[in-house]
Amino acid sequence: MLRANDFRRIALRMTDAIEGAHMGHPDFRVNGRIFATLHPDNKYGMVKLTPDAQQKFVRENPSSFTPENGAWGRQGCTRVQLTAVDEDTLGEAMTLAWQDAVKKRAAGRSKIERPASPRRPSRKR
C-alpha cells in the first residue's frame, strides 16, 4: 500500500525530475515535460504512458491502473490507485512515463531550426 509521499519519492528518483504544480496539485517534470501528477486527494496519481503501455498496465493490474477520463485517458494518461499498487509496478510505469517525456523533449529540440548567425556587413574600403 503506497501513499502520496511514496509516489513523490519514486517520481523524484528519476534523473533530472523536479516537482512543480499544475492546476492546484503536484506534478513531476523532466526538462519541462510532465510525466506524472498527484491528484488533489492524494489517493491517486497519474502517469503519462503511451496508449500501448497504458493498455498493458490496465490489463495486467486492473485494480491499480485505469485510463483517466476523456481525451487525456485516450492519449495514455493513466490513473494509479495508490492503495492498490505495489512499489515495483509503480516504478516500472513511472520509468516508462519518464523515458517517454525525455524522448519527446529530445525529439522536439532536434526539430527546432536555429536562426542563421547574423552576418556583419562588409566594410567598403
Cβ-contact 65, 83 below 8 angstroms: no
Identify the structural domains of the chain with CATH numbers, from first to last: 4-109 (3.90.1150.30)
Angle (CA) 63 85 29, round 5°: 115
C-alpha cell at 20: 512543480
Give the percent of the chain with pLDDT over 70.
83
- The tens digit of pLDDT for each residue in 65-110 reads 999 999 999 999 999 999 999 999 999 999 999 999 999 766 655 5
Single-letter amino acid, residue 29: R
**Burial call 27-38: b when 16+ CB within 10 Å, e when fewer:** bbbbeebbbbbb
Nearest residue to 77 (alpha-carbon basis) of 105, 51, 38, 56: 51
pTM of this prediction exceeds 0.85: no
